[in-house]
Amino acid sequence: MSLIKNIALITLLLMIQGVAHLSGQTNSGTRIVKEGKEYIVHTVEKKQTLFAISKLYNINYETLLKENPELAAGLKAGETILIKVGNEPEQTHKLHTVQWYETIESIATDYKISVAELMKFNNLKEKELKTRQVLKIPVDIKKEDTKKVDLKPETKEIKDIPVAKDEEKQVLTVPFVPSKKERVKSDSYKIGVVLPLGGSKEQKDYNNFMEYYQGFLIALNEAKTDGMNLDVVVIDSEEYPKPELIWQSGKLKGCTMLFGPVYSLEIKSILSYAADNGIKVISPMDPKAENLVTTSANLIQATVPLMTQQKHLVSSLSRINNIVLLHEQSTNDQDITGITKRSLDEEGLKYNSYSYAVLKGRSVYDIIASKLSKEKLNEVIITSNSEAFVFDVLRNLNLLSTRAGYRIKLYGTSKWRNFESVDLSYYHDMNLTLSLPYHIDYSSTNVKNFVSEYRALFKSEPNAYSFQGYDLGAFFLKALNDYGKNFEDYLEEIEGSMLQSDLKFKKPTPESGFINQSTRKITYRPDYSIETGSFR
């Protein structure tokens, strides 16, 4: 087993179960008195985490940070921590850490307490809460216990479950939850994670999977903090020469949910076993797995199809404007061009189309002008992922806009965000709109909190894979906690506005699995701001 793989698996143990050798220790150590209070002096061991220490001494994670504020910068082996000794009055409350998706109303409902009582108990003047804010909950008011029940394919409660109204769905950012008496819950769940962690592939790919895994760990830790009892099995897919050996190993037995495998061929080899054993398989990142959804009711595809992205873009167009489709004379972008044309036809939108080779860019100015309207707003869709072609066509459109007075609004592809040679002022001046499967708003408080926690835990910056790991973990573990093992019965009613992506799943056919149908709408404004929204 490689050193890197050892680190990956040790990280999981540290985050989820605490350090194994600590489980047999007692709360002992040197004691001191500071400002009239007694403390235990704990010396940090190598690779020990705050989570493990808090479990060892049965102390709240937030309290540990409060008593030792310097720990916010991270732990170092050999440094000392002060652990406050008990001898305190009988506990009158328990602590609840506010998650990003919670409101004061939902917390009050969970603990069967009125909003007014909760606000009074915490001396709150306003209802608005902050993520990771700690609330005191009276100990005699307990969060509803989960009870293990026999799950059945169909029950009256499931069939009669209420559906959120359209106006309610517009403001929900977490699952619409039926009343508690209708939930089907279990005492614990077994979760599987299958990733290539051995590092035998290119180092760049391996690092991305590790980043995904670390983001997932944060979501997993939050779920356990929320009271979920999770048994997690992590499988390194590179240990198995054939993908079918993964399920043949028996390690997936008893799983409710499986995150991965990564590649569609590996997913295909596992689907039949998963279906026979009631395992929901979540495909995290391979677009090719979309082809398996039609014949696999237990498959959930997280990536958004190109067809959906382009349909969302076309839905922004107005039939009262002049619509122009521009694309390159090459075979590289035939798929996206064909999909866009079909979407335009399905919407009944009339449009002008023109294609040219990038080497002819200097001579196409007049031809493009002939496709535009002087009287109407020109909505121009460019179906190209070629940076050279996009650079050239935007140069021509900018001249037509600034010198000839044509009013132009742009629509492009998700790849445009990564272009380096294209002048960003073109995007803003011509109101570029994109339909993106992923977009991170770094001004968001929730994103800032995640980045801070990620840095503290892993001493590195999160990338897109880190956010994807967190988003999928947080969304599906929340769904499992709310609805139980048959959460897929309600999946089409759930909407998630996560850190990097929006999640809204649909079945292409009644017998199929699920595909994410939600993208983020990004519009560049002339004042150099970026407006964000959602396509659902």
The CATH code of the domain that includes 135 is 3.10.350.10
Confidence at residue 122, expressed as pLDDT on a 0 to 100 scale? 86
Tell me, what CATH number does 251's domain have?
A: 3.40.50.2300
Same domain, 186 and 295: yes
Confidence at residue 91, expressed as pLDDT on a 0 to 100 scale? 54
Does a structural domain hold residue 519? no
What is the percent of the chain where pLDDT is above 70? 78
Confidence at residue 40, expressed as pLDDT on a 0 to 100 scale? 81
Confidence at residue 100, expressed as pLDDT on a 0 to 100 scale? 65
Same domain, 322 and 224: no
C-alpha–C-alpha distance, residues 434 and 411, integer Å: 6
Confidence at residue 114, expressed as pLDDT on a 0 to 100 scale? 87
Contacts of 376 (CB under 8 A, 6+ apart): 320, 321, 322, 407
3-class state of residue 504 by DSSP: strand
Same domain, 356 and 400: yes
Residue 253 is part of which domain span? 167-303+445-496
Q: Which of 25-39, 65-79, 324-338 has the lowest mean pLDDT?
A: 25-39
Same domain, 417 and 462: no
C-alpha–C-alpha distance, residues 118 and 140, integer Å: 13
Same domain, 56 and 182: no
C-alpha–C-alpha distance, residues 333 and 330, integer Å: 7
C-alpha–C-alpha distance, residues 303 and 298, integer Å: 16
Does a structural domain hold residue 514? no
Mean pLDDT (whole number) for 437-459? 92
Does a structural domain hold residue 470? yes
Query: What mean pLDDT, rounded, does the chain reach?
Result: 82
Confidence at residue 19, expressed as pLDDT on a 0 to 100 scale? 32
Does a structural domain hold residue 516? no
Higher-pLDDT residue of 12 and 126 is: 126
Confidence at residue 185, expressed as pLDDT on a 0 to 100 scale? 62
Does a structural domain hold residue 508? no
Does a structural domain hold residue 180? yes
Q: Which of 69-73, 94-98, 433-437 has the lowest mean pLDDT?
A: 69-73
Nearest CA to 476 among 491, 463, 464?
A: 491
Confidence at residue 121, expressed as pLDDT on a 0 to 100 scale? 87
Q: Return the amino acid letter for 76.
A: K
Residue finishing a domain among 64, 84, 104: 84
Confidence at residue 33, expressed as pLDDT on a 0 to 100 scale? 64
Does a structural domain hold residue 522? no
Confidence at residue 235, expressed as pLDDT on a 0 to 100 scale? 93
**Given a cut of 70, is residue 21 above it in pLDDT?**
no
| Beta strands in 29-120, from DSSP E residues, in sequence order | 30-34, 37-43, 80-84, 93-97
Per-residue pLDDT tens over the stretch 326-362: 999 877 889 999 999 999 999 999 999 999 998 876 7
Per-residue pLDDT tens over the stretch 358-371: 887 678 999 999 99
Confidence at residue 96, expressed as pLDDT on a 0 to 100 scale? 80
Q: Which of 27-41, 365-379, 407-421 has the lowest mean pLDDT?
A: 27-41
C-alpha–C-alpha distance, residues 182 and 323, integer Å: 50
Same domain, 410 and 386: yes
Same domain, 453 and 413: no
Confidence at residue 146, expressed as pLDDT on a 0 to 100 scale? 34
Q: For the residues of 15-38, what is the DSSP string, one character each?
A: HHT--GGGTT--S-SEEEEETTEE
Same domain, 289 and 378: no
Residue finishing a domain among 33, 64, 84: 84
- Burial of 193-224, coded b for 16+ CB within 10 Å and e otherwise, reads bbbbbbbeeeeeebebbbbbbbbbbbbbbbbb
Confidence at residue 73, expressed as pLDDT on a 0 to 100 scale? 66
**Given a cut of 70, is residue 227 above it in pLDDT?**
yes
Same domain, 191 and 313: no
C-alpha–C-alpha distance, residues 98 and 94, integer Å: 13
Residue finishing a domain among 52, 84, 116: 84
Q: Give the chain's domain count.
A: 4
C-alpha–C-alpha distance, residues 277 and 271, integer Å: 10
Q: Is 383 exposed, middle or buried (0-12, 13-18, 19+ CB in 10 A)?
A: buried
Residue 29 has φ and ψ, to the nearest 5°, of: 155, 175
SS3 annotation, 259-295 = ECCCCHHHHHHHHHHHHHCCCEEEECCCHHHHHHHHH
**What angle is formed at CA 496 by the lines to CA 513 and CA 279, rounded to 5 degrees?**
35
Per-residue pLDDT tens over the stretch 461-505: 999 999 999 999 999 999 999 999 999 999 999 999 999 999 999
